[in-house]
Structure formats: C-alpha cells, structure tokens
A = this chain, B = another copy of it.
Amino acid sequence: MTAIRTARDRARAELTQEIKAEARRQLGEHGATQLSLRAVAKELGMVSSALYRYFPSRDQLLTALIIDAYNALGDAADAAVDPAAEPRARWQAVCRAVREWARAHPHEYALIYGTPIPGYQAPPDTIGPAIRVALLLAGLVAEAFATGSLVLPGPDATPLPPALEAQATALGRQIGTDVPPLVVTRVVVAWTQLFGMISFELFGQYVGGMDPAEPFAAYVTDELADYVGLRSPIPA
C-alpha cells in the first residue's frame, strides 16, 4: 500500500473509507445489484462524478466491498479463536462467530454468500479473502490430527468413491495438510452445512419451522465438531 504522508493522502484514505461505509449502508436498502454511485455520492454531499477519483467504476467499488466483507468475516472468525482452548472449543467458537457476524451484517453476508451479481465477474484478488474461514476450520482439524487428538472415522464410515477420493486428496495437498481425504471431505461437508444453515436462517427458509434458529445452530455446530473428529470434552 502507498505510504500516507501528506494531508491530501490522509483525506483521500479517509474519504475512500467513507465511500465504502456509505455504500455498505446502502447495500441493505436496495441490494447489491441496485447499488448506485449517484446515491452514495449524494449521501456524502458530493457530486457523482467525484467518486471516479476514488473508484474507477461501480464494479471496482463492489469488488472493494466484497473483499472487505470477506476480510471482516475472516477477522471475526480469527478473533474468536482462543489459542489456549481445545480444538473442539475453537471450532465451536469459530462457527458461532461466523454466524454472529452474518446476523450482524446480513447484507454484506448476502453480498459474498448470496446470489452472484449478474454481469459481475469477481477478480482473482477476492479468492484469498474468500477462503479464509474454510482454511481456518480446516486448520483446526489439521492441528488436532497432527497432535493425535483427532478421532478418525471408524471402519463403518462410508468410504469415498475413487473420483471424490482423488479430489479430496488434491484439496488436502493444496491446503498443505496430510489429513486423510475422508476427513478433508467431512470438513467440506461441515463448512457447507455451516453456511447453508446461516443462509437458510438469513434468507427466511426457517420461518415457521426452525425459527428462531439459535438452538438449532448451536446443536448443529456441535454435531459437526463430532463429525469432523474433534473430541468431545469429557462429560462431567
């Protein structure tokens, strides 16, 4: 990043943040597809063309919002991890933090985990921020595996068909772990379940059924910890 030295640089950095903050605020009113540069500028007391000094196009503003959202979620997840805690407790803390962030920022959540914006192509620099939570969850499991505390699937577990085994092996290698492919697959299942559950909750699918979703969410993350092999605390 550029060093901030002059008053001009400082003003520029501040206004860039203010533009993003106002855009974030307006996401909630009309959704990402309707995000309007003119409306953002008006709210900030500027003329719409002035925004082009900060973002070269509407899509680039969207990209900045997307990256910020992934990073805000990633930061919230990271912050929930107590390094002194057991892996299972950390797993649950991460799941809880992810859900809480999503509930506190539903429109930013929808921006990154909802329907893709038609005509918008996410640039490659969104990838890193996008996979932070998945990597964090996988890392907890990998660590438990490395220290020998991971409960591996028993012999009665459904074995992976060859195509999936190959994919899971490649994926494990890609994220730098030697966790067995069956466990890698289970982490993907758990990651999917976590976000599927949050999406269903925020998008209204549980209304009239599992609503409020708090007890359900707590139960599910618990089951998921078992499923990936993070040991239950010894019962009292």
Using a CB–CB cutoff of 8 Å, the interface residues on chain A facing chain B are: 28-34, 110, 113-119, 122, 127, 130-131, 134, 158, 160-161, 163-164, 167, 171, 174, 185, 188-189, 192-193, 195-197, 199-200, 203-205, 208-210, 214-216, 218-220, 222-223, 226
How many identical subunits does the complex contain? 2
**Inside 8 A of A171's CB, which chain B residues have their CB?**
209-210
Q: Which residue of B lies closest to A29 (CB)?
A: B118
Where chain A touches its partner, the secondary structure class is: helix
CA of A193 to CA of B158, assembled, Å: 17
Q: A220 CA to B171 CA in the complex, in Å?
A: 17
Write out the residue numbers on chain B whose beta carbons fall within 8 Å of the beta carbon of A215.
161, 163-164, 167
CB distance A223 to B158 under 8 Å? yes
Contact B219 A160 (CB under 8 A): yes
CA distance A54 to B31 in the complex (A): 27
Let me know if A167 and B31 touch, CB within 8 A. no
Closest to A160 in B: B219
Q: Report A83 CB to chain B, min CB distance, Å.
A: 26
